[in-house]
Structure 1
Amino acid sequence: MLAAQRQAEILAAVRRRGVAKVADLAEALGASEVTIRRDIETLAAEGRVRRVHGGAVLPEGASRELPEELAPAIAQDEAAGPVVGMLVPKSAYYFTGIVEGVRAELARVGGRLLLAVSEYSADREADLVHGLLDAGAAGLLLAPASADPDGGIVTDWATSLPVPTVLVERRAGGAAAASTSWVRSAHEDGAAAAVRHLHALGHERIALFVRGDTPTAFAVRRGWQDAHTELGLPTAMPPIAGADVPGWPQWTPESARALAADLTANGVTALLCHSDEDALALLQSGLADAFPIPGKLSLVAYDDEFSEFTVPPLTAVSPAKRRVGQLAVRTLLEALGALSPQGALGALGDASSMPVVHIDVQPRLVLRDSCSAPL
Structure 2
Amino acid sequence: MRESAAGRHDRLLALVRERGTVRVADLATLLGVSPVTARRDVEALAAKGLLDRVHGQVSWPERHAAVSEGLVLGLLAPSATYYFAEVIRGAHEAAARAGARLILRISDYRPEEDRARTEGLLAAGAEGVLVAPGWRGPEDRPAYGNWLAELPVPAVLLERRADPGSPLDALDRVVSDHGHGVLLALRHLLGLGHGTPLLVARGDSPTALAVRAGYAEALVTLGLEAPGPVIDSVPADQDPAGFERAVRALHEAVVSGRASAALVHNDVDAIEIVQRLAELGVKVPEDLALIAYDDEVAALADTPLTAVAPPKRQVGRHATELLVERLTEDPAEEAARRHLSLLPRLRVRSSCGAPSGGRPA
Give your verdict on TM over 0.5: yes
Do the aligned partners of residues 150 and 360 (structure 1) sit closer, same or farther apart at CA in structure 2, a change above 3 Å counting? Answer: farther
- Equivalent residue in structure 1 for 2:177, among 186, 199, 202: 186
Residue 150 of structure 1 and its aligned partner are, at CA, apart by 11
SS of residue paired to 2:263: strand
Letter in 2 for 1:190: G
Contact 2:130 2:319 in 1 (8 A): yes
- Residue identity over aligned pairs, in percent, reads 37
In the alignment, the residues of structure 2 paired with residue 187 and residue 172 of structure 1 have an alpha-carbon distance, to the nearest angstrom, of 15
**Contact 2:179 / 2:218 at 8 angstroms: preserved in 1?**
no
Counterpart of 1:202 (choices 190, 193, 210) is 193
CA distance, structure 1, for counterparts of residue 293 and residue 91 of structure 2: 23
CA deviation vs aligned residue, 1:65-84 (integer Å, no higher than 9, x gap) = xxxxxxxxxxxxxx942111
CA contact (8 A) 2:233 2:242 kept: no
CA contact (8 A) 2:98 2:324 kept: no
Contact 2:294–2:308 under 8 Å retained in 1: yes
| Residue of structure 2 aligned with 1:258, choices 248, 255, 260 | 248
Once the two structures are superposed, the pairs formed by residues 98-117 of structure 1 within 5 Å of their partners are 98-117=87-106
- CA distances 1:231-287 after superposition (whole Å, capped 9, x unpaired): 2222122222235x8764669995575244343357121110111111112223344
Is 1:160 matched with 2:141? no
Q: Take 1:94 and 1:145, find their aligned partners in 2: how far apart are those partners?
A: 13
Distance 1:83 1:236 in 2: 51
Tell me the residue number matched to 1:323: 314
Q: Does 1:126 align with 2:120?
A: no
Change (3 A) 1:190 1:254: closer
Mean Cα deviation higher: 247-256 or 139-148: 247-256
Picking from 70, 86, 92, the partner of 1:97 is 86
Match of 2:345 in 1: 364
TM-score, normalised to structure 2's length?
Answer: 0.72
2:153 pairs with 1:173: no
Q: What is the DSSP-based 3-state SS (H/G/I as helix, E as strand, rest coil) of the residue aligned with 1:300?
A: strand
Matched with 2:233 is: 242
Partner of 1:220: 211
Partner of 2:20: none
Between the two proteins, the alignment pairs up a number of residues equal to 286
1:123-161 residue CA offsets vs partner (Å, 9 max, x unmatched)? 111111111111111001011122665997761112221
Code of the aligned partner of 1:275 = N
| Amino acid paired to 2:149 | T
Larger radius of gyration: 2
State the Cα distance separating 1:303 from its structure 2 match.
1.2
Q: Does residue 353 of structure 1 match 2:343? A: no
Which residue type is aligned with residue 335 of structure 2?
M
- Answer yes or no: is 1:298 the counterpart of 2:289: yes
Asked if structure 1 preserves the Cα contact closer than 8 Å seen for 2:236 and 2:269, the reply is: no
- Is the CA contact (8 Å cut-off) linking 1:313 and 1:368 kept in structure 2? yes
Partner of 2:64: none
CA distance in 2, matches of 1:251, 1:106: 44
Is the CA contact (8 Å cut-off) linking 1:236 and 1:266 kept in structure 2?
Answer: no
Among 294, 300, 314, the alignment partner of 1:309 is 300
The aligned counterpart of 2:272 is 281
Q: Using a 3 Å threshold, how does the CA distance of structure 1 residues 89 and 249 change in structure 2: closer, same or farther?
A: farther
Which letter maps to 1:371?
A: C
Contact 1:317–1:364 (8 Å) recurs in 2:
yes
Distance 1:257 1:357, change over 3 A: closer
Confirm or deny: 8 A CA contact 1:143 1:169 kept in the other structure.
yes
Q: What SS class does the counterpart of residue 195 from structure 1 fall into?
A: helix
Asked whether the equivalents of residues 251 and 277 of structure 2 are also in contact (C-alpha less than 8 Å), the reply is no
CA distance in 2, matches of 1:362, 1:188: 9
Distance 1:364 1:242 in 2: 23
Q: Deviations over 1:42-76 (max 9, x none)?
A: xxxxxxxxxxxxxxxxxxxxxxxxxxxxxxxxxxx
| TM-score, normalisation: structure 1 | 0.69
Q: Secondary structure at the match of 2:291?
A: strand
